[in-house]
Structure 1
């Protein structure tokens, strides 16, 4: 009867599993972390929230159509700004009433 050798440990697999476990723990903490209600949002963040391109958002802010804060070349939006932008876009969006186009 021969003694079997211990199975080799795959350090890469162990490391990858540890990283996944750590990433899941960080995601869980971030989901429950309180958000600063006074924090300013970037154009990318607001664009993702509202379904607008950051460039269009910046262009409309630069023209004065959207409320914003500006720090040099950087546009920032408060939560109140975002609420006002939502109200402004609600009143300016008209539903499409056209028919289907022939192919």
Structure 2
């Protein structure tokens, strides 16, 4: 039986253009599918496809975009 290739946290972060800490945070919160091998997170191609198919969360937005949204929300409040 052939085991599908699995991505590391760093590899997934590079594909998604986010930090490894963001990947870990999204997995810890249960928002992203993943596999655990001991203490390590691993991701199959199916996990990756499910992650990119989900709507973008605020954690995934570039910081400047989040800051702009926060500033606009403060202005209308």
Same fold (TM over 0.5): yes
Deviation at 1:92, TM superposition (A): 2.4
Q: Relative contact order (C-alpha < 8 Å, sep 6+): which is higher? A: 2
Could you tell me which residue of structure 2 aligns to residue 55 of structure 1?
21
Structure 1 residue runs of 5 or longer lacking an equivalent are 1-35, 99-103
Residue 80 (structure 1) aligned to one of 34, 46, 68: 46
Q: Check if 1:67 corresponds to 2:33.
A: yes
Q: CA RMSD in A?
A: 2.4
Which structure has the bigger radius of gyration? 1
Distance in 1, matches of 2:28 and 2:21, equals 10
Distance in 2, matches of 1:37 and 1:84, equals 19
More helix by share: 2
1:70 and 1:76 in contact (8 A); partners too: yes
Instruction: Write out aligned runs for 1:5-84 (5 A).
Output: 38-84=4-50
Distance in 2, matches of 1:92 and 1:40, equals 23
